[in-house]
Structure 1
Amino acid sequence: MTNSELKSKIVAAGMTKIKNVINDFEERITELKAVTLTDQTAESASQTESRRDSDLEMLDNLYGQLEFARQEERTLQLIDPRSVKNFVDFGAVVLTDKRNLFVSTGIEEFEVDGIPYFGLSTKAPLYKNMAGFTVGEKVSFHGIEYLIKEIF
Structure 2
Amino acid sequence: MNRATRRVVPLLPLLPLVLAGCSTAPVSFQGVAPPGLETAYQCAVAQLNLMDYTIEDGNLEAGFVRGRRQTSGVVQELFTGAAHHDVLTASVFDNPATGNTHIRVVASRVADHDIGLLPGLDDDEEQGENRLGPSDSGKADAQRLLTNCGVVATTGGPAPQ
Instruction: Give the structure-1-normalised TM-score.
Output: 0.27
Instruction: Give the structure-2-normalised TM-score.
Output: 0.26
Structure possessing the higher relative contact order (Cα contacts under 8 Å, 6 or more residues apart): 2
Larger proportion of helix: 1
Bigger Rg over Cα: 1
